[in-house]
Amino acid sequence: MEGGKRACVIGAGGFIASWIVAKLLDRGYKVHGTVRDPDDDEKYGHLKKLPGAGERLSLFRADVLDYESLVPAVRGCDVVFHTACPVAHKFEDPDAVLKPAMDGTRNVMEACHKENIKRVVFTSSGAAIIFDPNRPQDQIIDESCWSDPEACRKYEDWYRLAKTESEKLVSKLGDEFGIHVVVICPVVVLGPILQSKINASVGLVAILMNGSKTSYPNTYFGLVDVRDVAEAHIAGYEDPNASGRYICIACSKLCKEMIDALKENFPQYSYPDQCEGETTQGNSFKKMSNKKILSLIKEFIPYEKMLVDTVASLQEKGLL
C-alpha cells in the first residue's frame, strides 16, 4: 500500500491509461479517472471491474477541452497522469488532433496549477522524437532529439506535430507553474488490452493477421509492452529522481520479423506475404536508445510474450 496516495488519470479509459489505473489500484492508490461519459459502460465498464475499483476508483465526467470539468477531478491528488490524446494512423483534419493535444494539455496544466498539484506525468510519444529528415542516419537517438515541426507540417503529419508541440507546451507550463513534469515517450505500444474495443496501435497486429493485407511494409517498428509503459509512468511519479523525458522502447523489429513470430505462434491466421519496397525504411527505430528509462524500469517484457499476450487478449475479446 502506498499510504493512501491519490492519483488522477486523465483519459482513464484509453489503452495505456487503463493499465495505469489497474496498476495504481493494485498498489493501493485512490484513483480519480476522467472519462468523457462515465455512463458509457461499453467504453469504460472494464475500469469499474478492475480489482480495487469498487473501493478506490472514482470516475469523473471531464473533457480535456473543458477546463472547468477538469478541476474537480485533479483536486486533492498527489499526481496527475495526463494521457488523453486521440491516436490514429492518419488525421485528415489537423485540428482533430492538434486541438485536444494543445488546448487539452493547457487546460489540464491550468487545472493542476489551480489545485496546487506538484507532479504531472505526461504521455508524449516516440512521435515527438523520431521525425527529423535532416538528422544524420547513424546518429543515436536519445532524449535530446526532437521531431522537426516544419517537416511534420510539410508532410502533414499532424499526429507527430501534435505530440511534439504538446510535449514542449507541458514542459513550458510546468516551469511556469512550478509543477514537476516527467514525460514518457513510448514507441508503438502492444500488449493485452483491458478495454473492449481495439485501439490504433494494437490494431497494427490485427491488420497483419486478419487477411485484410497482402503486402507488408519493409520497415522497422519500435515496440514496447503496455504493462511496461504503465510501470514507467508510475515510476515517473514514485521515483524522486525522475525528471525530464524518457524514451520508452523495448526493441525494434522489422515488420517481417513480427509476421514470422506471429505465424509461428498463431499459424491459423492469414498473413500478408509480399514485401513492399526494396529498401528498409524507418531504420531510425534501431538507433533509439533506452538507456535512460532503465533507471525507471529494470527490464522489459520480452518481445515474443508481448506479441503472444496481445493476440491472446484480442482472441479473448472476440476481436480477431
59's grid cell? 470516475
Residue nearest to ligand NAP (CB): 14
Contact between 13 and ligand NAP per CB under 6 A: yes
159's grid cell? 499526429
Q: Cell 512550478 belongs to which residue?
A: 178
Q: How far is the CB of 15 from ligand NAP (least distance, A)?
A: 3
213 is catalytic: no
Contact between 284 and ligand NAP per CB under 6 A: no
Contact between 11 and ligand NAP per CB under 6 A: yes
Among residues 98, 189, 232, 255, the one that binds ligand NAP under rule CB under 6 A: 189
Annotate 108-135 with b (16+ C-beta within 10 A) or e (fewer): bbebbbebebebbbbbbbbbbbbbbeeb
Q: Which is nearer to ligand NAP, 91 or 216 (CB)?
A: 91
- The DSSP secondary-structure symbol of 76 reads T
Would you report the helix, strand and coil content of the chain in percent, each value rounded to 5? 45, 20, 35
Q: Cell 489545485 belongs to which residue?
A: 115
103's grid cell? 488546448
Among residues 33, 38, 100, 174, the one that binds ligand NAP under rule CB under 6 A: 100
Q: Any idea what the Cα angle at residue 225 is, between residues 262 and 58, rounded to 5°?
A: 130
* x/- track of binding to ligand NAP for residues 17-46 (CB under 6 A): x-----------------xx------x---
Q: How far is the CB of 3 from ligand NAP (least distance, A)?
A: 28
30, 163, 253, 287: which is the annotated catalytic residue? 163
**Which one of the spans 48-56, 82-90, 301-309, 310-318 is the region binding ligand NAP (CB under 6 A)?**
82-90
Q: How far is the CB of 188 from ligand NAP (least distance, A)?
A: 5
Q: Which is nearer to ligand NAP, 93 or 138 (CB)?
A: 93
Q: How far is the CB of 11 from ligand NAP (least distance, A)?
A: 3
**Which one of the spans 7-15, 239-247, 250-258, 265-273 is the region binding ligand NAP (CB under 6 A)?**
7-15
Contacts 24+ apart (CB under 8 A), 140-147: 140/287, 140/289, 141/247, 141/284, 141/287, 141/288, 141/289, 142/247, 142/288, 142/289, 142/291, 142/292, 143/185, 143/244, 143/245, 143/246, 143/247, 143/292
* x/- track of binding to ligand NAP for residues 110-139 (CB under 6 A): -------------x-x--------------
Contact between 199 and ligand NAP per CB under 6 A: yes
Contact between 15 and ligand NAP per CB under 6 A: yes
Q: How far is the CB of 43 from ligand NAP (least distance, A)?
A: 6
Contact yes or no for 243/174 (Cβ under 8 A): no
263's grid cell? 505465424
Give bridge partners of residue 225 from the DSSP assignment.
Answer: 190
Q: Which is nearer to ligand NAP, 117 or 232 (CB)?
A: 232
Taking Cα atoms as reference points, which of 174, 64, 165, 175 lies closest to residue 124? 165
Question: Is residue 217 helix, strand or coil?
Answer: strand
Q: Which is nearer to ligand NAP, 87 or 234 (CB)?
A: 87
Among residues 107, 147, 164, 201, the one that binds ligand NAP under rule CB under 6 A: 201
Task: Write out the catalytic residue numbers.
Answer: 163
Residues of this chain that interact with ligand NAP (CB under 6 A) are: 11, 13-17, 35-36, 43, 63-65, 83-87, 100, 104, 123, 125, 163, 186, 188-189, 199, 201
